[in-house]
């Protein structure tokens, strides 16, 4: 059974709790890399540990949450082997998997409500890479 790495900064920890509740409801196994308080932290520190665990193959996918998702996706993409995508809706979540073979999903708690975010997560986890012409785009 696959596992999902999940992490947030202080601006994303409430949404992270909602996504974890969704995982529990669905029986999806996850590893939580923090944080769980509103105390301010530097989002790259969380992005790095989640991205490294995915790059090492310890978790199949990663979910990163900050205020906007922007800082998390920028930081995660510095780790070799990571293709992190910031998604705002079901369409971008599906495309991130089908076209980009994204292995990390970033969402923003200040941008996306809990119900939509869980739908984005569900779509991301259930959608396969299409391969074919999309393989040429990888550096």
Using CB under 6 A, list all residues that contact ligand RB5: 9, 11, 43, 66-68, 70-71
Name the strand (E) or helix (H) holding 104: strand 104-108
For 20, list phi and psi in degrees, rounded to 5: -65, -40
* Residue 53 · residue 27 · CB < 8 Å: no
Complex with ligand RB5: residue 88 or 99, whichever CB lies closer? 88
Which position's Cβ is nearest ligand RB5? Answer: 71
Cβ proximity to ligand RB5: between 44 and 130 the closer is: 44
Tell me how far, at minimum, the Cβ of 135 lies from ligand RB5, in Å: 30
Dihedral angle computed from the Cα positions of residues 18, 23, 24 and 29, in that order, rounded to the nearest 10 degrees: -140
- By C-beta, is 7 or 71 nearer to ligand RB5? 71
Our answer to whether residue 99 is catalytic in this structure is yes
Supply the Cα-derived Rg of the chain in whole angstroms: 14
Given the residues 10, 66, 87, 118, the one annotated as active site: 66
Q: Is 66 designated active site?
A: yes
At its nearest, how many Å lie between ligand RB5 and the CB of residue 39? 12
Query: What are the residues whose beta carbons fall under 8 Å from the beta carbon of 80, sequence distance 6 or more?
Result: 55
**Positions marked catalytic:** 66, 99
């Amino acid at each position: 059974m696959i596992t999902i790495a999940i992490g947030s900064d202080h601006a994303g920890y409430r949404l992270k709790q909602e996504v974890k509740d969704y995982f529990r409801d669905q029986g999806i196994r996850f590893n939580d890399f923090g944080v769980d308080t509103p105390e301010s932290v530097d989002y790259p520190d969380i992005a790095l540990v989640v991205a490294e665990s995915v790059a090492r193959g310890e978790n199949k996918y990663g979910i990163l949450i900050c205020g906007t998702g922007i800082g998390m996706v920028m930081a995660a993409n510095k780790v070799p082997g990571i293709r992190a995508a910031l998604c705002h809706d079901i369409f971008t979540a599906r495309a991130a998997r089908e076209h980009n073979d994204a292995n990390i999903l970033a969402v923003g708690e200040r941008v996306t409500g809990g119900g939509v975010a869980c739908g984005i997560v569900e779509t991301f986890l259930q959608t396969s890479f299409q391969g074919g012409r999309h393989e040429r785009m990888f550096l």
